[in-house]
Chains A and B, each alone.
Chain A
Amino acid sequence: MPVTYAESAPRRRSKSIPVWDAFVRLFHWSLVLSTGAALLTGLWLGASWFTLHLIGGTLAVALVTSRIFWGFWGSSFARFAAFVVGPRRLAEHLCELAEGRAGRHIGHNPPGGWMILALLGTILVIGLSGVVALGGTLKTGPLAVAVDYATGALAQDLHGALAWALTGLIVLHVAGAVFESLRTGENLPRAMITGTKELRDEAAELPPRPARTRPALVAGLTAGAVVLGAASTLAVRQFPVPGAPIPPARFDRLYADECSACHIAYHPSLLPPESWGRLMATLGDHFGEDASLDPASTRAIAEWLTVAAARPTDTKPAREFARVDPAAPFTITKTPFWQETHAAISEATFSRKPIYGKFNCGACHQDAESGWFYPGNIDIPDTPKENSR
């Protein structure tokens, strides 16, 4: 309920009053940085920024969690009760705005308050869908052993769609702050730095009744949530990941020796069993080279590869490369997924030293031999300067 500010005698000179406490300000600008980093790396920069993306996203969720606790036990203006109004009050405010007779608010105005809820909620859901996607598609994080690839891929779609929605909300939030600053003649972004706003004589809201803040409780709850997240992430590492690719140390010796002579021994999970069968039947003309072997070795390797490839490996490459190009049934680099993920890399990059070709996965993926292809392990090498023979 807005209450007219009819204190003592009217004063001309404006006085400032503390509105945004130190927690809220620190939270706000840290959230700008962490969410900005997560959005930038996730939506615009490629997978090679993945580690920064995880850091930004995790930080944003931790900040939002603490902000939610502060919304119950923080200082007066920070509490949800102080800025979340009912739908009727929201509609009223919008009507007043349209008619040009809306008042000024010391804390968040009604649409501003709802925006805060929308931002916090969206970031939280993006974070949760990110953890599901991480567990399912990359087998890392607290849900590494609990989510399969298909579910993780769905969560990743939601994660991406909500990231765009959040970008839209942020644009609206900034536009609202600029609009309200112009309308009321008070620099709102500055207030989020100094923490104070003008206490004017005209009609204004009384600050809410000072509430007892409980910083220790909020800090404790936040720390608890962070420890819970970290501990579950670490604890899950003790369990075997279902559908993990077999480690290269367990490759068949003959396969590991013969098929690593010219390139890395590709992980068997990278192609479906039929593809390996067809590749092994055409070694005499193998991608423009003769890679033929004696019949006994050929048979033994073909058998091992088809059995190893039939294991239900639940990694992103195994699931995605299973969809091969019918015209090139055993070429990983011709699969639709490979083409999509590498579309931004130029032909010149692939052919230069020390990469030499698309099929040389290990040049850019440090974990290529393991079959994981984790995005944090990507690094496109520079051309070496010395010994240009």
Chain B
Amino acid sequence: MKIPSKPTILALAIILATPLAANPARDAIINALKQQAGVSSFSAEEGKALFLATHSGGKPETPSCTTCHGTNLKAGGKTRAGKPIEPMAVSVNPQRYTDPAKVEKWFRRNCNSVLGRECTPLEKGNILAYLSSL
């Protein structure tokens, strides 16, 4: 096997050392949300509270985000039909929150189901900050 060249090792080291949120596509999604929300940073703490809370405004079948995603976000969840859902934590599932259309679609659906309304850009950003910090 060929020993990797110095620049490759350097690049790997940078990738491994950077915070997990540093994926260009995900950054773009989060930055767009920052602009919409008019804030310079999001609060993972508030995102956590929203994600783990039990709500009453939405559909009775889905009182919480954890109904489907589970409480251990590094493990998978499942839909109401028992279909497995991949883990939500970026640390174990780096593909997460990199496709803006997918993120938008599921925020719209899931916030409507759980809260009975769409989530605000601030709420979305807080949640993504929380899920990226795990």
Contact = CB atoms under 8 A, between A and B. Distances in A.
A356 B110 contact: no
B119 to A, nearest CB: 12
Contact of B62 (A261, A289, A353): A289
B13 interface: no
Interface in B57-113: 59-62, 70, 79-83, 101, 105, 108-110, 112-113
A20 B80 CA distance: 63
A290 B108 CA distance: 8
A103 interface: no
Contacts of A284: 112
B61 A288 contact: yes
Nearest to A387: B75
A98 interface: no
A359 B81 CA distance: 7
Contact of A292 (B80, B81, B83, B109): B109
Nearest to B70: A389
B109 A289 contact: yes
Given A288-B59, A288-B62, A289-B61, A360 B108 contact: no
A262 B110 contact: no
A95 B113 CA distance: 80
A261 B61 CA distance: 17
Given A289-B109, A293-B105, A356 B81 contact: yes
A263 B61 contact: no
Q: Is the interface of B mostly helix, strand, loop or mixed?
A: loop
B59 A354 contact: no
A363 B81 CA distance: 9
Interface residues of A, number: 22
Nearest to B82: A356
Contacts of A360: 81-82
A354 B82 contact: yes
A208 interface: no
A290 B112 CA distance: 6
Interface in A241-285: 260-264, 284
A178 B121 CA distance: 85
Given A288-B60, A289-B62, A289-B113, A263 B108 contact: no
A291 interface: yes
A92 to B, nearest CB: 70
Contact of A262 (B59, B79, B112): B79
Nearest to A291: B109
Nearest to A262: B79
Nearest to B72: A389
A355 interface: yes
B62 A263 contact: no
Contacts of A176: none
B81 to A, nearest CB: 4
Contacts of A355: 82
12 contacts: A262-B79, A263-B81, A264-B83, A288-B61, A289-B62, A289-B109, A290-B108, A353-B82, A354-B82, A355-B82, A356-B81, A357-B80
Q: Which 3 A-B pairs have the closest CB atoms?
A: A290-B112, A263-B81, A290-B109
